[in-house]
Amino acid sequence: MSRKITIKDVAKHAGVGIGTVSRAINGNPNISTSTKEKILESIKILGYTPNNVAQSMRSQRYKNIAFFADISNPIFAQIAKESQIELDKHGYTLSLCNIGEKDIGNKISSFLEGRKSDGIILSIPKEDDFELNRSLANIKVPIVTINRDVPILPAGVVTDYYFSVNEAIDYLLSLGHRNIALIGGDKKIRPTREGISAYKDAFLSNGVKLNNNYIKNGKLSSESGEALFNELLPDIQKGELTAILCLNNQMFYGVLRGMRKAKLKYPDDISLITFEDSELMELLDPPLTVIHRPIDEMGKSIVNTLINYIDNPETYGKLEPVVIPTNFIIRESCKPVSIKK
């Protein structure tokens, strides 16, 4: 295998200095058009490609982003994919890092100490983890969070939970539902906070009295979803509770499982709406009415926000969150309430 072509080879071939070659590669303006062309020609002839490791070493820029999330949740896998596609356009690569529930801060710090990334895309389970926030505060590269407001961090990219939930509840109310359960994660995370607020506002603006007991909070897991469903079960069986809106797809699986075990069917026994669409949501029988978010747009926004922070560090922390709108897709998991007491 022949020796790797370096910048020196290019310089010699083009009859210029290495600094000039570097300027040609990096779009530096201090170079005449003619020499630049000559160098680009030599590069093509020799088949030269810059060694990124050497570039990073010297320039302290790495053209790499680290993606920290629990990618066993398919939604994050999709976001990772879309982010990677967008990053690729900007010449960045994406390092995938899985995180669990614990010790996230240390994992990120130790990753950054060794490996070099210019920025981080981060999805964390909680917003108010004191330890975590302290570690995050010490990280010196920009971080863009997904659907979380972390006090110590600048605004990230968020789904429009408020609008989505408002719209969905409006829809259920218009179908005649009066008791609607909201199942979500911890009250302290943005999606739940926004969701609850939209839920309440929807009842208020429709002049319907709401029952706070139907706001259920738990962990973002199917087990927790199933447990919360079971708390609601008696009221469903009594016919008092007629609809459920679930803010998280993992929890929704738990709701489905709970229904299965209780031998309940939607939409006859209860109307169902969940957050997050997927091919299977349409293939469930009956197909599910869902709140759909455009994952590709999320990926693009995340990447562009992050790259903006990298290129313009002075804007870091000064921007408003990017809010991604959703689509409400009505299928067949909700039906009108016929009789009202």
Partner DNA sequence: AACAAATATGGAAACGTTTCCAAATTTAAA
Partner DNA sequence: TTTAAATTTGGAAACGTTTCCATATTTGTT
Binding site for a copy of itself (CB under 8 A): 1, 49-54, 56-57, 62, 67, 71-72, 74, 77-78, 80-81, 84-85, 88, 93-98, 110-111, 113-116, 140, 222, 253, 256-257, 260, 279-280, 282-285
Q: Which of 163, 249, 245 lies closest to 198, judged by CA?
A: 163
List binders of DNA among 271-290 (CB under 7 A). none
3-state helix, strand, coil in the chain (%, to 5): 45, 15, 40
Name the binder of 260 from DNA, a copy of itself, none, CB < 5-8 A by kind: a copy of itself
Q: Is residue 152 close enough to count as binding DNA by CB under 7 A?
A: no
* CB 278, min distance to a copy of itself, A: 8
* CB 257, min distance to a copy of itself, A: 6
Instruction: Find the part of the chain contacting DNA (CB under 7 A) among 55-63, 194-202, 259-267, 293-301.
Output: 55-63
CA torsion sign for 174, 176, 181, 187 is: positive
Instruction: Find the part of the chain contacting DNA (CB under 7 A) among 28-36, 100-108, 197-205, 311-319.
Output: 28-36
Name the binder of 93 from a copy of itself, DNA, none, CB < 5-8 A by kind: a copy of itself
C-alpha 312/C-alpha 320 separation (Å) is 15
The nearer residue to a copy of itself, 44 or 340, going by C-beta atoms, is: 44
Beta strands 289-292 and 327-329 are antiparallel
Give strand ranges (E) for the chain. 64-69, 93-98, 119-122, 143-145, 157-159, 180-184, 215-217, 243-246, 271-275, 289-292, 322-324, 327-329
The nearer residue to a copy of itself, 88 or 311, going by C-beta atoms, is: 88
The nearer residue to DNA, 36 or 216, going by C-beta atoms, is: 36
- How crowded is residue 135: how many other Cβ atoms within 10 Å of its Cβ? 18
Q: Is residue 2 close enough to count as binding DNA by CB under 7 A?
A: no
Contact 105, 97 (CB under 8 A): no
Q: Which of 66, 76, 78 lies closest to 220, judged by CA?
A: 76
Q: Is residue 45 close enough to count as binding DNA by CB under 7 A?
A: no
Token pair for residue 222? 């199917």
CA distance readout (Å), 318 to 118, 163, 315: 19, 24, 5
The nearer residue to a copy of itself, 106 or 205, going by C-beta atoms, is: 106
Figure out which of the listed residues 45, 57, 137, 204 binds DNA, where binding follows CB under 7 A: 57
The nearer residue to DNA, 59 or 98, going by C-beta atoms, is: 59
Q: What residues are paired with 233 via a beta bridge?
A: none
What is the binding site for DNA (CB under 7 A)? 4, 6-8, 15-23, 25-26, 29-32, 34-36, 48, 50-51, 54-55, 57-59
